[in-house]
Amino acid sequence: MKSEEGRLHLRAYLPADPIWLRQVHGVDVVNAAPGSAGTPADGSFTKQKNIVCAVMAADCMPVLLAHDEGEVVAIAHAGWRGLAAGVIEATIAAMGVPAGRILAWLGPAIGPAAYEVGEEVRAAFLDSDEGAAAAFAPTRAGHWRLDLYAVAKQRLASRGATRVFGGGLCTCSDAERFFSYRRDGASERMAAAIWLA
């Protein structure tokens, strides 16, 4: 299915057009509103009903966040660059509620058995947080398997968000259900969306 066809198909299940971001693997988070579509950012949030926060991914991790009494929802696009730079922390901060009141869901992403990275990626995490070392397993000289889910859980917990769900699906190893850039080198993406009903 082509990208436009996919977006039209998805739209049939949503209360409004999604606020699509121009994802840049950074930490900027925007207040989702009709005029914010196309903003260079990797996270969005809303306190308004029927505003659809959305991200696209094909190995990066979508992180969906919701206040436990429905005051605000948010979404983050967490590839390794954004995750290392603090996109989850920035999204929690933008929500403006105590992190202990947030529920988090980690969407499908490349799993640790399939995700080998170089020393520069490991250094990007460890430079700001030595605790991230637990998410890396050595493979061969200068290379590591990275568990994005473990890093996300650690980052969420460090802010006080401990009610975390999801985090067990690998986009790269499950070709029946997921697109994977690393596996296929193709441009297809999956969408993740969240809104207040």
Q: Tell whether 125 is covered by a domain.
A: no
Task: Please tell me the chain's helix, strand, coil percentages from 3-state DSSP, rounded to the nearest 5.
Answer: 30, 30, 40
Strands 190-194 and 52-57: antiparallel
CA angle 66, 68, 73 (to 5 degrees): 20
The pTM is what?
Answer: 0.94
Q: Give the CATH number for residue 169.
A: 3.60.140.10
Q: Tell whether 188 is covered by a domain.
A: yes
pLDDT at 169: 95
Do residues 36 and 24 lie in contact, with contact meaning Cβ atoms separated by under 8 Å?
A: no
Residues 21 and 162: their CA atoms lie apart, in Å, by 27
- In sign, the C-alpha dihedral spanning 163, 165, 167, 171 is negative
Please name the amino acid found at residue 187. S
Q: Tell whether 142 is covered by a domain.
A: no
Q: Tell whether 148 is covered by a domain.
A: no
Return the number of other C-beta atoms located less than 10 Å from residue 163's C-beta.
14
In terms of residue numbers, what domain contains 184? 3-110+161-194
Quick one: tokens of 109? 């992403």
Structurally, how many domains does the chain consist of?
Answer: 1
Q: Tell whether 138 is covered by a domain.
A: no
Instruction: Note down pLDDT in tens along the chain; length 197 residues.
Output: 556 788 888 999 999 999 999 999 999 999 999 899 999 999 999 999 999 999 999 999 999 999 999 999 999 999 999 999 999 999 999 999 999 999 999 999 999 999 999 999 999 999 989 999 999 999 999 999 999 999 999 999 999 999 999 998 999 999 999 999 889 887 788 999 999 99
Q: Per-residue DSSP letters for 30-47? A: EE--GGGTT-B-SEEEES
Strands 73-78 and 116-118: unpaired
Q: Tell whether 136 is covered by a domain.
A: no
- HSE, CB side, 13 Å, CA atoms: give it for residue 109: 26
Distance linking the first and last C-alpha atoms of the chain: 28
**130-143 pLDDT, tens digit each:** 999 999 999 999 99
> What distance lies between CA 146 and its chain's CA centroid?
15
pLDDT at 2: 58
Q: Tell whether 23 is covered by a domain.
A: yes
